[in-house]
Amino acid sequence: MYNIAYFCSLFATIMGISSAFSCTLSRCRRPVSTAYISNKKLCMSSTSTTSSSSGTNTISSDNNELYQERSDILRANSKLSLAPMMEYTDRHFRHLVRLVSDRTLLYTEMVAANAIAHEREAALPPSSSSSLLDGASAEELSFDPSYLLRFLGQGHNAEGASVLQLGGSDPDQLFLASKTVYEFNQLAQIHQQQSSSNNNNAPIFCDYTALNLNCGCPSPKVAGKGCFGAALMQDATLVQQLTSSMYHGSQGSIPITVKCRIGTDEGYQFTRDQYNARSDEEEYQSLKQFIETVASEGIVTDFQVHARIAVLGKNYSPADNRKVPPLRYYQVRRLAEEFPELNISLNGGVETLSGVKRELDECQELDGIMVGRGWMSNPWAFAMSDELLYTDGQQLADSTRPKNRIEVLQAYGQHADYEEERWDPVKIRRFITKAASQLFSGEPNAKRYRIALDEIAGLPKKLMKEDPKLMEVNLHYQNLYWMQRQNI
């Protein structure tokens, strides 16, 4: 565990920065805890709770209030959002982004609704047929939540404004997935007292501001074999049904949003020349009809629109679909202008903070800009996003987020400690280090930092292969080795 937090000191040496701050990390230089082996029944905590009973579609007044509260948070933090990216926007990277920005709206990587439904069925107590709440008490859970929390967990701190993206085309599975999120929030209320009094069972958060339906992923595994993602844009009525299932599954307590594209290549064989020759108006009217149909029930009022079509008729990779179809921002801007009652965010091609500001200034009807690759390749480039995009100075003045990258690493080391105390370092460490690998992108010696970080990431697996029983002892001596090697 200490090796993860230790990369802060390691970086300071590599980059030629004073390592005086490293004494603050001394608590982390200890053998890996094995708490993750015995701590299987984790308690949950949440900042928002509801009181409606499980298993009913009746929306209580408390849930209506909670829905409005979350909607307000969604609106207040939508100017810049972190795009959902598979294998990148996991809870570790989202935690890093939150250390850089208090206001960025965080999106999870897409979670398949069928996976949640499957794990939910496996987790349900034998005496229960419908609810995770059955048999729950203030002393213990009646099921092991760790498997579901692999998909839904938020780490050891509340993430603030955040959105869970779901993927699927089955209304029943999406209902169950949304219901699971709702029930975790109910469990949080039951276990709140236990969480606050037992430091050994620190809380796992699952408190999302909104749920998002993926109607934009063009991956052949998703939109092809899976028949969801961008393929759903070809059936707006089904999307309406899916979002309705998500709304009722969450008992009307969580806003439902949709991420989509401006269209697909349905009805013709895509080539650049054929696409450029097609009518812009026809494309826009198709997009408009999709939005109107999905929003017709009043459940979905927030859309994140990638300003490219999805090419599904060819074996295009996701990377091809990010590059080959041309960007048409004007289609998304027109949508925002014609539907002022909806909240429209632009996605695609914007990779810098200056680009975000420019797009918002050019079209003030847009409610936000979604950035993915820019955050992934250089997170610190967005360190001034809160100050640049928001004008509520008092809230910004009250911010306690780290002021520089050394402080970010110190805080991230605490997250790493927490994760390795509760999960197997052999399985989780590389994911933890991956999230911080680009924090010093573009700086001198950044490559040396990434190489050293990669070596640290592989230590638990390497030592486990050598001798599982001596892994903790070996890690202790490995720590001394690193200190001697870097002359700390």
Q: Pick the last residue of a domain from 347, 367, 390.
A: 390
> Residue 43: its pLDDT value, please?
32
> Residue 128: its pLDDT value, please?
60
- Reported as a pLDDT band with limits 50, 70 and 90, residue 187 is confident
d(CA 175, CA 431): 30
> Residue 13: its pLDDT value, please?
53
d(CA 316, CA 313): 8
> Residue 22: its pLDDT value, please?
33
pLDDT tens profile 94-141: 999 999 999 999 999 999 999 999 999 888 876 666 788 776 664 567
> Residue 395: its pLDDT value, please?
63
| Of 437 and 421, more confident | 437
Look at the chain and count its residues: 488
Contacts of 409 (CB under 8 A, 6+ apart): 7, 8, 11, 436, 439
> Residue 156: its pLDDT value, please?
77
d(CA 236, CA 97): 33
Give CA separation, 189 vs 120, 123, 203, in Å: 20, 19, 12
Q: How far is CA 200 from the centre of its chain?
A: 26
What domain range is 480 assigned to? 2-31+400-405+424-485
Element spanning 106, H or E: strand 106-107
> Residue 475: its pLDDT value, please?
55
> Could you tell me if 17 and 79 lie in one domain?
no
> Could you tell me if 327 and 349 lie in one domain?
yes
> Residue 424: its pLDDT value, please?
83
Q: Tokens for 370, please give them.
A: 């979604």
Contacts of 417 (CB under 8 A, 6+ apart): 1, 4, 5, 28
d(CA 55, CA 169): 22
In 3D space, the residue among 352, 354, 357, 359 whose CA is nearest the CA of residue 375 turns out to be 352
| Of 481 and 310, more confident | 310
> Could you tell me if 337 and 464 lie in one domain?
no
> Could you tell me if 292 and 321 lie in one domain?
yes
217 is catalytic: yes
- Reported as a pLDDT band with limits 50, 70 and 90, residue 192 is low
Least confident among 44-58, 205-219, 237-251, 458-472: 44-58
Least confident among 67-81, 186-200, 252-266, 451-465: 186-200
> Which residue matches tokens 């020349």?
273
Task: Let me know if residue 434 belongs to a domain.
Answer: yes
Task: Let me know if residue 418 belongs to a domain.
Answer: no
> Residue 122: its pLDDT value, please?
86
> Could you tell me if 14 and 118 lie in one domain?
no
Q: What's phi and psi for 304, nearest 5 deg?
A: -110, 115
> Could you tell me if 310 and 433 lie in one domain?
no
> Could you tell me if 93 and 10 lie in one domain?
no
Question: What single string gives the DSSP state of each residue in 63-83?
Answer: HHHHHHHHHHHHHHT-SEEEP
Could you give the number of structural domains in the chain? Answer: 2
> Residue 342: its pLDDT value, please?
97
Residue 347, pLDDT > 50, answer yes
> Residue 464: its pLDDT value, please?
76
How high is the mean pLDDT of the chain?
82
d(CA 400, CA 379): 18
> Could you tell me if 176 and 312 lie in one domain?
yes
> Could you tell me if 157 and 107 lie in one domain?
yes
Q: How many CA atoms lie within 13 A of 359 on its CB side?
A: 27
Residue 369, pLDDT > 70, answer yes
Report the DSSP beta bridge partners of residue 212.
165, 257
Contacts of 477 (CB under 8 A, 6+ apart): none
Residue 354, pLDDT > 50, answer yes
Catalytic residue, chosen from 217, 227, 260, 363, is 217
In 3D space, the residue among 295, 308, 361, 305 whose CA is nearest the CA of residue 336 turns out to be 305
Task: Let me know if residue 465 belongs to a domain.
Answer: yes
> Residue 6: its pLDDT value, please?
54
- Reported as a pLDDT band with limits 50, 70 and 90, residue 463 is confident
Give CA separation, 434 vs 255, 379, 415, in Å: 31, 13, 13
Task: Let me know if residue 395 belongs to a domain.
Answer: no
Residue 330, pLDDT > 50, answer yes
> Could you tell me if 109 and 14 lie in one domain?
no
> Which residue matches tokens 């990148």?
88
> Which residue matches tokens 């100050």?
387
d(CA 259, CA 229): 9
The CATH number that applies at residue 298 is: 3.20.20.70
Give CA separation, 389 vs 272, 361, 439, in Å: 36, 10, 21
Residue 46, pLDDT > 80, answer no
Q: Pick the last residue of a domain from 365, 390, 415.
A: 390
- Share above pLDDT 70 across residues of the chain, in percent, rounded to a whole number: 76
- Cα 364–366–367 angle (5° rounding)? 110
d(CA 481, CA 462): 15
> Could you tell me if 316 and 455 lie in one domain?
no
> Residue 188: its pLDDT value, please?
73
Task: Let me know if residue 458 belongs to a domain.
Answer: yes
> Residue 302: its pLDDT value, please?
98
| Of 22 and 363, more confident | 363
Helices (H) and strands (E) in the chain, counts: 21, 11
Residue 349, pLDDT > 80, answer yes
> How would you classify the pairing of strands 300-310 and 162-167?
unpaired
Task: Count Cβ atoms below 10 Å from residue 486 Cβ, excluding itself.
Answer: 16
3-state helix vs strand vs coil in the chain, percent to 5: 55, 10, 35
pLDDT tens profile 229-281: 999 999 999 999 999 999 999 999 999 999 999 999 998 889 989 999 899 99
- Reported as a pLDDT band with limits 50, 70 and 90, residue 165 is very high
> Could you tell me if 234 and 364 lie in one domain?
yes
> Residue 465: its pLDDT value, please?
77
* Mean pLDDT for the stretch of residues 211-238: 90
| Of 184 and 98, more confident | 98
In 3D space, the residue among 381, 386, 484, 349 whose CA is nearest the CA of residue 102 turns out to be 386
> Residue 456: its pLDDT value, please?
87
Task: Let me know if residue 37 belongs to a domain.
Answer: no
- Cα 234–221–301 angle (5° rounding)? 45
> Residue 203: its pLDDT value, please?
56
d(CA 432, CA 425): 9
pLDDT tens profile 400-412: 889 999 999 999 9
Residue 379, pLDDT > 60, answer yes
R_g (Cα) of the chain, nearest Å: 23
pLDDT tens profile 65-89: 999 999 999 999 999 999 999 999 9
- Reported as a pLDDT band with limits 50, 70 and 90, residue 333 is very high
Task: Let me know if residue 38 belongs to a domain.
Answer: no
| Of 9 and 20, more confident | 9
Cβ proximity of 114 and 175 under 8 Å: no
Give CA separation, 488 vs 20, 408, 475, in Å: 10, 21, 17
Q: Please write down the HEC assignment for all residues of 14-25.
A: HCCCCCHHHHHH
> Residue 51: its pLDDT value, please?
35
Task: Let me know if residue 412 belongs to a domain.
Answer: no
Question: What single string gives the DSSP state of each residue in 326-391?
Answer: PP-HHHHHHHHHH-TTSEEEEESS--SHHHHHHHHHH-TT--EEEESHHHHH-GGGGTTHHHHH--
